Structure 1
């Protein structure tokens, strides 16, 4: 790792904190590894620091067991500046301290920018402002004017004070520090048992250092809740894709049929390798068609005994997951069920709710229609059921 080579050169490192679990954001993985428009959040956050010429070293603190996720996140990035990663601690404060210690062990001295990986839209201009501010002060943080009125409340939620808004700011990362002073402050806080600082600027204040501010960036948002990811997805450039699906199954002996993930009593059953849910099978194919990702038989071949009698909600959940893995969004699912019996109408809303649950979308994004074939053909003769489905999704343009 580079160190100072001349009196007028200040080396700059970036330390990205990506060790949190991000539970409030939902999903099946820490938020820094969730995808937006086909790329992990961490990849977005890293790239501007890797692209900044003034930064010589980029280090990342990750959670225990996240090594494979981290490797996937950096797979498409230029990694010549990357070191580590370092495994973080239980708290953000401890994770930063471990990252700083790893940098110190490698011989780094200079300015360090500490950035939360959950802020993926940091700009090169903001990074340059952080570096410039660090040259003038031992600690500097990006700040934005507060536009809402702020109230301080007591434990019961009663207002105690309304601070003057003109002197309030909200702060962001990257926060810029003189490396040796920040590490010393962390070590001192650890020795004193002070472990509840929510950002490094607060820790530096505790250590007696004056903290300067510089202009932040409103676009440098932090992804915290599930709706933050929806807004972030909408901000990325996505292309509409439409897929269609069709399925049919013969009726035979039995006392029920499965339609749209719902068990409906009936005088006959369905002859099928799985549970024979024509609605979910057609929807699965529609989603896979929108992805140009084969069909239900490609991923769940009837020749494979493990799918005998399988619940079809697994198939639809798989297809919806493939959309999410590629950074896409499901906009709408539309199904038409063709049969003489059973009657679909009494079960329509239950089916809509179940499909929405399986696909991870709102019920308003699911449409169910049912019709007969006027007693024509195999459905008209009561020999089978059929379903037609259309899926509308949005995918990153690169897809």
Structure 2
């Protein structure tokens, strides 16, 4: 067994134009002040991380990471959620997802995809330069518009989408292997990899690539009504990352899983700050302790009610209270008989 590391904080929801959220030094001081010992860092904002510099120089990485360490936090992982999303985009979402890319590739899906692939590869190289072993990402989606089809899906449509998704990601996974870094796909509605079955479809097509892992976030499973504890048992060997994010699901006679096009506050399924929702984190942390998980417990603040700074501070304390320092001995060692093999054989009646 292994004690999970933490608490960590995903910085994506906090970076902004105002201090202390507008620079690497300031935001790491703030995170440490909230009680965090690690930060998960998005790679799409140059105010926080110069991705080109990080991919190009170990010395630059050492200096940058050192500034965080001086403020009391280490880098847990890098994230390419936005760039990974652009590796595979259905045309229905082209206009909205252009916002994730530079203006030079807006309206140019092929150029945008090429840019995104290079970004993800740079982040993998930067992860290697930082001595990290995992990177978070989204898979992107080609089949998602057909998730609940009417009219029915034509035969072979989903298979073709997953064949193409695997074709796009296989070279990136091979680069991840060269870097010694796992790609942890967040299993998330809106992505083609949104549950266990879809992840397995992808895994089959990339030859069960050893670098294809999962980012486990139970909040997304609550909103899908998927058994998030059984999921841990099934995919323990493929889970490489953990987001501590809470959620609640309260269906009514008017709305259920799909939310009725309502804003977050009005949906049946809503994200909440850790401890304010329905996720059984006691059971989750117990399973992570038992499965020898090597990673971090990273808070991702997304709540339809609570202020983010309050959620961050409370989240650090919440994770600390749930981390299980694993035992090195059995609770009944005090009653051990202190026997040996010969005595064991006598007890079994084998030497009569």
Q: What is the TM-score of this pair, normalised by structure 1?
A: 0.21
Q: What is the TM-score of this pair, normalised by structure 2?
A: 0.23
Rg larger in structure: 1
Higher strand share: 1
